[in-house]
Structure formats: structure tokens, C-alpha cells
Amino acid sequence: MKAPINPLKQMLADGSPAIGTFVSMPSPQLVQVMSVAGFDWLTIDMEHGPIGPESMHAMINATAVSHTVPLVRVPATDPWMVKKALDAGALGVFFPLVVSAEQARSAVSAMRYPPTGTRGFAPFYAPSRWRQSTFDYAAAADDNLLTIVLIEQAEAVRNIDEILAVDGIDVAFIAPFDLSQSLGIPGEFDNPKFLDAVATAENAILASPAALGGLAMDVEKGRAMVDRGYTLLMMAYDGLIIEAASRDLIDGMKG
């Protein structure tokens, strides 16, 4: 059987904008609906959402109705958490709070089988999710998975060059909410201190082999970010998307 291909990894390699969002609700049904809507990728958020391993597994499987690529944000860069996401069939992992080259190397290692990494071998669910034999999946996994580090701390911006020097980072994703909090100016996205930090991170990422990722809260900002070189684009998040659509319906009827 043919080796699995990660279409999201190919889009990023081609420089094509890949549109996705985060799902924090433990709902396979919601993932199924959002997959059919046409997102290039969806990230199952185990860091801030009330999602356990069983729900995560079911949510990954719910993307099978479409070409949407399932990713997972783990709560921490602990290898055992990464293992569960990959063994359930995720094609990439978001690593939160990466502030050093050491943490970046640990993330890359957790994503790869020996001899280049430390991922344990489990021939159960990931191969069947991608309709592969066990060893076909294992042979292609290292080249198909996406290692995504979140740049969300002032320390990460200070150490951005050494983080990006680690071989195997596919995407560096600037997280504005946590970054502004870390800078002591929560939510002040027009503050020069915040803008300088973002520009420093953007310039370093664009000069590196890693793709540039980030959050856009609306289409106008998303288009501006694409113009600046962002390719992994997170559009809002599940709760906000549902709330905005609901408000439009209600305001349209009552207005």
C-alpha cells in the first residue's frame, strides 16, 4: 500500500496558505462538520480544551470524511503526551511554551521513531486511520508529521534564533495572546513593545526553513498576515466561530 501523504506539509512546502482553526470542544460531531466545511487543518486543543485521549482519538477519526488534516496541541512537551496524539493518527503536534533550543530538540525527538528520535512503536490505530500497514506507516511517518512550536513567551522571542536552528521544526507559530501576556501588556496588540516582538519573531522565522504560523481573528487580518508571509493560518477558534454565526442569525432576525 502507498505511503501516506500529508497534504498540509505539501501546502507549506509550496508556500500555499493553509487555513485552519482550533477545536477546544470534545466533540467528534463538531470536527466532522468543520472538516466538511473545507478547513485545510483542524487542531484538537488538549492544552486548554476539556479534551481527553478518548475524545481526541474520536475527533481525529472524524476528519476521515474530508481532506482536513488533524493536528493536536498537547498540554506540555512531555513525550508521553505526544505519543498518544501520534498513535491516535494526528499528522502534527503543536508544542506550547517552547522557549529554548533544548525544548525544541525534545519536541523534534518525540515526533520521530528511532534511530533519529524517541517515539515508541505502537502498531495499533495510526496505521489504520491512514489505511496503511503497520510498517508502511512507520516508514513514512517521520517525513509526514509536522512539528509545530508555539512562540508565545518573551523568552522565546529572545531565543528565537537558537530555537529555529534546531533541525526538524516545520512551523513556528506566533501566539499573540500569550505573548502579549508574557510581555506584561495583555491584549495590547497595537503596543509598540508587542509589535516589535512580533516583528522580531516574524523576520527570524521567515529567514529560517520553518513555515510561519499565526492567529487571525478575522478575514481582513488573515489576508494581511498572508501578505506578510504567514502560511499556517489559524482563523479564530471554534467557540468564537459558533458564537459569531449565532449572533448573525439572531441579529438578522431581531434587527
Of 48, 131, 193, 228, which residue is the catalytic one?
48
Contact 56, 23 (CB under 8 A): no
How far is residue 188's CA from residue 39's CA, in Å, rounded to a whole number? 29
Bridge partners (DSSP) of residue 171 are 148, 211
How many angstroms separate the CA atoms of 188 and 228, rounded? 20
- Look up 57 and say whether it is catalytic: no
- Here the cell at position 187 is 491584549
Number of residues written out for the chain: 255
* Long-range contact set of residues 102-106: C-beta below 8 Å, sequence gap at least 24: 103/77, 103/163, 104/149, 104/163, 104/166, 104/169, 105/166, 106/77, 106/79
Give the count of beta carbons closer than 10 Å to the beta carbon of residue 60.
24
Q: Which stretches within the chain are classed as H helix?
A: 7-14, 28-37, 53-62, 79-87, 101-110, 125-129, 134-144, 154-158, 160-164, 176-182, 192-206, 219-227, 238-254
Q: Which helix (H) or strand (E) holds 146?
A: strand 146-151
Which are the catalytic amino acids? 48
